[in-house]
Amino acid sequence: MPQKVGSANAPRVEETMQSIAHLHAKHHQHSTHSERLVDRGTALLGQPSFLVILTVVIAGWVLGNLTSLRFNHVALDPPPFAWLEVGLTVAAVYMAVLILTTQRRADRLADMREQMTLELSIQTEKKVAKLIELLEELRRDSPEVFDRIDTEAREMSSRADPRAMAGAIEQTNESLKVGENLK
């Protein structure tokens, strides 16, 4: 990402980007060889070219067996193509397991990012509350500024209680569930 010359935020942006890259690198470092292998397999199966290859293989299987029957030869898998059905079923189970395994690993990374975002939000909230508190103090102490009582600023200068917020969220979710059950 190009940085603007003289930009005061450039070092901070770079530091943030490095922190995120470090988080991803650490996640990759702590993955097992089998997890990385599953990730590569899922990435390979997720390519559009895999769909084309799979379609060609299935069409070739069906056409090969039908052609064999037409010329009075013994088909490896005559219609209704039981072996093809078994093969595709087994492949589907493996693909489902690959996807679930990859998703589980991706969820761990998402959880780490979510935790980091939550911690940054809490720190930001504390900083904003402190800034409001300092501005209110400056307003009270400065003789040039009319002193008045600002209840909103007073409320905003106090820090939020994460436990109280979690309780309020749980209470709101419970009341929404009760409301949905009454409908």
Q: Long-range contact list for 122-125, CB < 8 A, 24+ apart?
A: 122/162, 125/159, 125/160
Ranges of the chain whose pLDDT falls below 70: 1-9, 182-183
Model's pTM, two decimal places?
Answer: 0.57
Q: Which residues have CB under 8 Å from 150's CB, separation 6+?
A: 136
Amino acid 83: pLDDT = 95
Distance CA 39, CA 45 (A): 10
Amino acid 103: pLDDT = 92
Domain ranges of the chain: 31-182
Of 164, 169, 157, residue with least CA distance to 126: 157
Joined together, the tokens standing for residue 7 give 């930009």
E strand or H helix at 121, and its extent? Answer: helix 82-141
